[in-house]
Structure 1
C-alpha cells in the first residue's frame, strides 16, 4: 500500500511541474525538486541497467553526453562552479526517469497538469496585463521564457485533447481545448514573437497527425474557427500582436539600411555577428562564454559590432550561440540532445500510429524538442533555469508514460 502511494506521489509531482510551471513564480522547480528527492528511493528499489531497453538507454546516453560535454566546456572556459548548475539538470533528471519507469499507473495525471498549467498561465498573463498594467506578461520570468513555455503548454494541451477524445472524456476534452487556447493566449500577452513561429509550423504537424480522429466537416469548422481567431488576435490592438509584427518589419528594414542597430532585432543581429566572428576564430571548440570577453572587446575596437550588444551574455539564438561559444563540437552535442529524444518519440508515434493510448504521450514528448528547436531561433533557452527544467524533465515524464502505456498494451494482448 505504501509503495503504491509513493508511486502515485511520483506522478503527482510530475503533473505538478506542468500545473504550476509558470502560473506560480518558479513553480516549475517545485515538482521537479520533490521528484528528484523522491528518486533517492532508487537505493531501495534497485533498478537494474539490464531492465532498460535500448531506447531507454539511448535517451540516457543523450542526456549524459550533453551534460558531460557542457561540463567539459565549462572546465576549458575559465572554470566556474556556478556554471555547472544548469547542465547538471540533464544528468540529475536520469534518476527521475528511472523512478518513473518503476512507478505504475497515474501517467494520465500528466494531462491534467498540462491543462491546468496552460489555464493558470493565461490567468496570470491577463492579471499582469490588465490589472498590473505590464506591457508584457512575464510571470516572474523573462517575458520570452514565459511566452515560449506558455506556447508549449498550449500545444501540449491540444495533444491532451486527442487523448481525452479517444477515451470519450468530454469534460476534460473541453478543458484541454480551452487550455490550448489559454497557452497560446499567454504567449500572445507576453509579446514574445519567437514562440509565435512555432504555432503554424507545429500546428500543421499536429493537425496532420490527428487528421483521422474526426470527420472532414469537423476539420473544416476547426480550420475556419482557428483562422478567424488568428485574424482577430492580429487585428485587435489590445493584444499587441500587430504592433509587434510591424515593429519587427520596421526594425529589419532600418537595420538593413544601417540605422537603429540598437532595436531588439538590431541587437540580435549584432550578437549573431559577434558569435559568427568568434566561430571563425575558434571553429572547433568555440571561444568560450567567459574567455570570449577579450574577443568581443576586440570586435568593438575594430568597429565590427555595436557596443550595446556586449551587455548580453548570449547570442539570443541557441544554435549560433553554441557555434560561437562551443564551436562545431558544441553544436553537435546540442543537436544530439534535440534529435535523439525527437527520434525516439517519432519512432513510437509511427509504431503505434493508430493506438492513441500510446501515441498521444509520444506526440507530447516529440513536441518538447520540436518547440525548443523553434524557440532556439530567437532565444538561448538553456541559458535559463526554466528553459533547462522544462525541457529535460517533460521529456523524461512523457517517455516514462509511453513505456508504461506500452506495457499496458502488452498486458492486454497477452491476457487473451
Structure 2
C-alpha cells in the first residue's frame, strides 16, 4: 500500500503542478502523510538514509534555517510567503523525506507525471493567450514563474521520453516536451530562453547512459549537443513572441539615458541589482532582512535612485544578490550548498551510469532498465539545479511558493531514484518497480 501511495504522490507532485492552482500541493500532502507514517521507524533507528540522501536532508534543514533568520522583525512575526510560510515548507519537506528513504517512486509515476504536467501547462498557456487574449500566459502564478517551470517540465519530459522503451511513449513524451516549451514561449519569460541552450547541451550530451564502449563517441555527442543548442536558438529567434520580447529589452536598454531609473522591466532590474549589491555591502554578514530591504528600497525611490515602480516588488530579481542583501554571506553560503549538494550527487550518478552495477538491480530483474531510470532521474536533477541557477540570474525563484516546492519536491524524488534506499534495513527496502 505504501508503494502505491508513494507512486500517487510522485505523480501528483508533477502532473497538476502548473495547470491547477498550487497543483503540486496535492502530491506534497501525500508525501508528508507517508513520511509521517515512516517517522516512528526513523526514531527507533530502524530506518535511516544513507550518505547521499542524508546530505540532501541536511541542506534542506540548513536552508530552512536560513529562511528562518528574520522571522521576527520590528517586534512582530513575519507570516507571509517571505517569512514563516516559506521556512515552514522546508521543515514539512523534512517530515516527508522518510517516505523516499525506504522506497523509491516508480519510474512510470515520474515519467507520466512530467508528461501530463508539461502538456497541461502548454494547453493552459494556449488557452490564456489564444482564447482569453492575455498578453502573456501566466498560469495560476505569474508569467515568469509559469514560463520557467514550464520549461523545466518540458526538459524533464524530454529526458523521460528518450528513456521510454515503447515508440508511442517516446512520441507522447516528445509532444509533451513541445507543449511545455510552447508554454514557456507564450509566457514571454526571457530568462528561461537564455538558459535553454545550455540545458539542451546537457540534455543531448547525457541523453543516454554512457557505457564502456561509448567512450569514443564524446566528440560526436559534443557536436550533436552544440548543433541542438544552435538550432534551438535559431528556432526561438524566429518566433514572433521571442522577437517582440527581445526587441523590447533592446529598446529599454538603448533608448534610455539612465535605464536603471526608468520604469521598464530591464531598467528596473538594473536598479534592483545595484541596490541589492549596495545594501549587501552595508550588511555583509547577516544582511538587512526582508523589512530592512523593503524600507531601504522605499528610501532609494524617495531619493530618485530607483524607478518608482520598484516599491511594488519585494525582491531583487536576482537570487544571489537578493540573498546577499537580506541574509548576507551566511545566506549566500546556504544557497550555494542548496545548489551544490544535489547537483554533485546527480553528477556523480551520471558519471557512474553504465560502468557500475546498481544496487537493487538484481531485485528488479532488469539491470538495464534500472540503470536507464537512474540515469534519467539524475539528469532531471542536474537540469533542475542548472535551470534554477540560470533562472535565478533575472528572477528570485525562491521568493515564490511554487519556486520553492518545485525545487524541493522533484529533487527529493530524483535523488530517491538515483540513490535507492541502501541505508534502509532490508525489511524496508522495496524492489525497483516497473
Instruction: With the length of structure 1 as denominator, give the TM-score of the two structures.
Output: 0.87
Instruction: Give the Cα separation in 2 of the matches to 1:218 and 1:346.
Output: 17
Listed as ranges, the matches of 1:13-412 within 5 Å are 13-43=9-39, 45-46=41-42, 48=45, 51-75=48-72, 79-82=77-80, 83-103=83-103, 106-164=106-164, 168-210=165-207, 231-237=234-240, 240-255=241-256, 257-258=258-259, 261-353=262-354, 355-404=371-420
More deviation, 6-15/194-203? 6-15
Conservation of the 8 A alpha-carbon contact between 2:318 and 2:396: yes
Cα distance change on mapping 1:256 and 1:64 into 2, 3 Å: farther
When the two structures are aligned, how many residues end up with a matched partner?
400
Runs ≥4 residues deviating over 4 A: 43-47, 211-230, 255-260
Specify the SS of the correspondent of 2:139.
coil
Instruction: Give the Cα separation in 1 of the matches to 2:345 and 2:228.
Output: 33
Instruction: Give the Cα separation in 2 of the matches to 1:379 and 1:309.
Output: 14
Instruction: Give the Cα separation in 1 of the matches to 2:260 and 2:34.
Output: 55
- What do the CA deviations read for 1:21-63 (whole angstroms, capped 9, x no partner)? 0022221211112221232212455473773211121111111
Conservation of the 8 A alpha-carbon contact between 1:275 and 1:321: yes
Cα distance change on mapping 1:63 and 1:105 into 2, 3 Å: closer
- What do the CA deviations read for 1:135-160 (whole angstroms, capped 9, x no partner)? 11111111111101100001111111
Is there any run of 5+ residues in structure 2 with no aligned partner, and where? 356-370, 430-434
Instruction: Give the Cα separation in 2 of the matches to 1:136 and 1:73.
Output: 34
Conservation of the 8 A alpha-carbon contact between 2:343 and 2:385: yes
Specify the SS of the correspondent of 2:420.
helix
Is there any run of 5+ residues in structure 1 with no aligned partner, and where? 412-416
Residue 301 of structure 1, CA deviation: 4.1
Conservation of the 8 A alpha-carbon contact between 1:8 and 1:103: no
- What do the CA deviations read for 1:327-349 (whole angstroms, capped 9, x no partner)? 11111111111111111111111
Instruction: Give the Cα separation in 1 of the matches to 2:208 and 2:106.
Output: 28
Specify the SS of the correspondent of 2:36.
helix
Instruction: Give the Cα separation in 2 of the matches to 1:298 and 1:105.
Output: 50
Higher helix share: 1
Residue 117 of structure 1, CA deviation: 0.6
Instruction: Give the Cα separation in 2 of the matches to 1:340 and 1:75.
Output: 29
Residue 94 of structure 1, CA deviation: 2.1
Instruction: With the length of structure 2 as denominator, give the TM-score of the two structures.
Output: 0.84
Instruction: Give the Cα separation in 2 of the matches to 1:394 and 1:365.
Output: 8
Conservation of the 8 A alpha-carbon contact between 1:89 and 1:392: no
Conservation of the 8 A alpha-carbon contact between 1:342 and 1:369: yes
